[in-house]
Chains A and B, each alone.
Chain A
């Protein structure tokens, strides 16, 4: 019986690696990722020429870069999805160490590109945002910690993961990058929630987030203005939000037509944070609905697969990754739909951006690796309990 349970995982069953990968990988999620990337490219053709023109490049300069980064990102994803859980975990923890060091040295070597927040390293050909790479690695790390604490006589993983979370989000707030800090907190909360956190603790975390938000509102004018903009019922049509809302309304259900949109000329972030406005204006609600369905497919399919997972680490890390991915899309589209206050958040795989694209590839690679079909001990359940 023991043989039956453990033996099936061995790689010596003579099946080719690729064929096993194809058989066991979450093809739904992978297809959706490819779909999102294609939509991103399609929108990039419309949204990025104004910026390219402004910066003196060829019209499709940013699309070309996106293709290069995308190829890199998607191949990273596929390669990582082939890795074993242990290898993925180890790589992620090494990745966390490097990206955290990167985060620490940002104030010294980083650049702010004139945007008021030091988040990037300028590498000449591209810019690197350590916090993007930090996120998936962080999730893996804390999932590992918390799952380790589930072992009898295991380390106090909950406490350690909480300390790491606080440290990382503090450094992010110092940049300042409230968005990523919130994402980090959110990721930890989800992982801890699934790991069986006491409900009072979660309430405490929510309270803390509110407190932090209030503090940020009081201390950061930049932040406060955005919240005020969201809370005021009248929308100034000359703000980013105003343009975005207007673009969605102009688009209607079937859009104004490919390339006919106007919002890309007015919004500086049309190719990144407000790409959904471009999508809504040019292709209408049809495409936006498709994007939403794609994201929800990824989230729901991945979580459904994780429901069957018995390994605590896999379950926690997978949930953390997929929730962080899902919430990023929610925030980005929610801002454009005026359900949330303005917050710079990229739309994973759709927005332009090398760091976010490659980091997204890494995150999804880890997720795919974690959600692969593995023999679970449910057979044992049947035999032992049955």
Chain B
């Protein structure tokens, strides 16, 4: 049968021609032929298209299964992205903490919210502006309203909100008020150690977070380290001891008030390492609400000014020990050498005199204990300008201190333009050269540790490196003995704290007057002390600005009546905190005794 059909299909005319001859209608046959050919063709095509249809069915089935599987997978997974920004804290602690030497928190981060407005979402701008102005004193309702209804789409209202403030803003209930989560820097101890920490503020700000950048103090010095996430687990450990810092600031503030001083500074330093245990400058500020820099007046009057590091002052008689130490070092004198103390010395139109006449001559050690300007000036004259400059320079008095604070560069010592005999003589007792209290503390630490230069540091983790030897051990010991003498029998007798063998030197310098020359009524009083003097561990420098003791009939402005009692109180308070055991046996002060020099 198939054979027949094929033959018909291939040769369609084979049936038509004979049919035509027979007189039949060939069209019918032609149609029949065509239909058979169609059917054949379709049979072939149907097989192919059936395969293709099946393919499509399989494909669709696979696609639907794939989609189903994908949806099932999604359904079984947890939603990863939070829909709204407010859901749980996605802001993680970025900036590293700052801690004291015992790991107590000095600066950390607190999650808070900033308030901003998206004006297009505001429902009731007038009411919102009024209520915000009531909530926040520094906002003005009219200004807010004009901003809300102006062209701005977005504006910041507050950078930090307390939880109470945030609730109050929530209660206004306007959907245009938005909260941006962020971290803010928190100083839980308030003003304590404020000058060291400095402060931080917001850098780049976004709606969801804000960068915190240090603006002063160690926050600024170590800004990049604190911002580095790899460091954020290890807090920045400072050499500061929080409780000692608190005691120092407390006593210093009390002393400043009692003595009517404008300002005060104190530095407590380890003599062997240069580590700063406490560094205070008053008046201070709260770094949580860091005040703005004063636009008028002297920057030094601002509470932001760090007197201990930035303030350069003539440090007065505290310098005398350096002069004497150098003279001993050079072998020009020994402690018992008699020095001419007849005054006055007239040189280049200046007159040098003692505060109180000391007779015609004094041994070197008594030049220190009696604080004789004349004696010191004459010793300095023996040393000469060149050597004096070299020596003071080797003690660090020629350049800013290297403490890790951004402000340290501001404390550049003021050296005389010409350094001749006159300058040598005045500098020998601390006039004509200005330096910071920290310079002074560093110089005294060098004497205290037996003559090695120290680098003041705030970093607990860094292993301290002692600098080169500046003074021989013997000279250092003799110097300490003289400093002890100042306390036991000299100008600093109020500093003799029982059991701690304080040694030190007072310094009183008249403040330069604004009209030129010196103001006799106003002075900077210093007391640089070392304790315990028999095995020196700590240096304490206390500086008071315009202090005067008005308890007596006459105001007393010298360091012996101002800086010294404050220092004594500080030592009495902090020595136990430092773990120093008081000793009440005078014989233990081996080597440090003046008896062998006394006639």
- CB of B80 within 8 A of CB of A249, answer yes
Interface size of A by Cβ–Cβ distance < 8 Å? 50
What does the 1/0 interface line of A232-264 toward B look like (CB < 8 Å)? Answer: 000101000011011011111100000000100
Residues of chain A within 8 A (CB-CB) of B50 are: 307
Query: With an 8 A cutoff between CB atoms, is A228 at the interface?
Result: no
Residues of chain A within 8 A (CB-CB) of B70 are: 337-339
- CB of A333 within 8 A of CB of B42, answer no
Return the chain B residue nearest A303 by Cβ: B57
Interface size class on chain B is: 35 or more
Query: With an 8 A cutoff between CB atoms, is B37 at the interface?
Result: yes
Q: Please tell me which one of the listed residues A190, A249, A312 contacts residue B56 in the complex, with CB atoms under 8 A apart.
A: A190
Residues of chain B within 8 A (CB-CB) of A248 are: 71, 74-75
Query: With an 8 A cutoff between CB atoms, is B54 at the interface?
Result: yes
Query: With an 8 A cutoff between CB atoms, is A220 at the interface?
Result: no
Given known A-B contacts A289-B68, A292-B64, A295-B64, A337 and B74 have beta carbons under 8 A apart: yes
- CB of A285 within 8 A of CB of B45, answer no
Residues of chain A within 8 A (CB-CB) of B1 are: 384
Determine how close the nearest CB of chain A comes to the CB of B60; give it in whole angstroms: 5
Q: Please tell me which one of the listed residues A262, A306, A307, A333 contacts residue B71 in the complex, with CB atoms under 8 A apart.
A: A333
Residues of chain A within 8 A (CB-CB) of B75 are: 248-249, 251-253, 280, 284-285, 288
Residues of chain B within 8 A (CB-CB) of A266 are: 83
Chain A residues 283 to 327 lying within 8 A of chain B, measured CB to CB, are 284-285, 288-289, 292, 295-296, 299-300, 303-304, 306-307, 310, 312, 315, 319, 323, 326
Given known A-B contacts A296-B60, A337-B71, A152 and B38 have beta carbons under 8 A apart: yes
Determine how close the nearest CB of chain B comes to the CB of A333; give it in whole angstroms: 5
Report the bound CA distance from A384 to B76 in whole Å: 58
Query: With an 8 A cutoff between CB atoms, is B293 at the interface?
Result: no
How many residue pairs, one in A and one in B, have C-beta atoms under 8 Å apart?
A: 112
Chain A residues 57 to 113 lying within 8 A of chain B, measured CB to CB, are none
Query: With an 8 A cutoff between CB atoms, is A194 at the interface?
Result: yes
Which label, helix, strand, loop or mixed, suits the secondary structure of the A interface? helix
Residues of chain B within 8 A (CB-CB) of A151 are: 38
Residues of chain B within 8 A (CB-CB) of A196 are: 45, 48-49, 52
Chain B residues 456 to 509 lying within 8 A of chain A, measured CB to CB, are none
Report the bound CA distance from A355 to B330 in whole Å: 108
A-B contacts, 28 of them at CB < 8 A, read A150-B45, A193-B52, A196-B49, A242-B81, A248-B71, A249-B74, A249-B75, A249-B78, A250-B79, A252-B75, A253-B72, A285-B71, A285-B72, A288-B71, A292-B67, A295-B64, A296-B61, A299-B60, A300-B60, A303-B60, A307-B50, A307-B53, A312-B42, A315-B53, A326-B60, A330-B63, A338-B70, A339-B70
B interface, CB within 8 angstroms of A: 1, 34, 37-39, 41-42, 45-46, 48-50, 52-54, 56-57, 60-61, 63-64, 66-68, 70-72, 74-83
Report the bound CA distance from A289 to B49 in whole Å: 30
Report the bound CA distance from A296 to B67 in whole Å: 11
Chain A residues 151 to 198 lying within 8 A of chain B, measured CB to CB, are 151-152, 190, 193-196
Q: Please tell me which one of the listed residues A150, A306, A333, A339 contacts residue B41 in the complex, with CB atoms under 8 A apart.
A: A150
Contacts A150-B42, A152-B34, A285-B75 given; 7 further ones with Cβ under 8 A? A248-B74, A249-B74, A253-B72, A295-B64, A303-B60, A323-B60, A330-B63
- CB of A246 within 8 A of CB of B34, answer no
- CB of A339 within 8 A of CB of B66, answer yes
Q: Please tell me which one of the listed residues A194, A195, A252, A296 contacts residue B64 in the complex, with CB atoms under 8 A apart.
A: A296
Report the bound CA distance from A80 to B66 in whole Å: 33
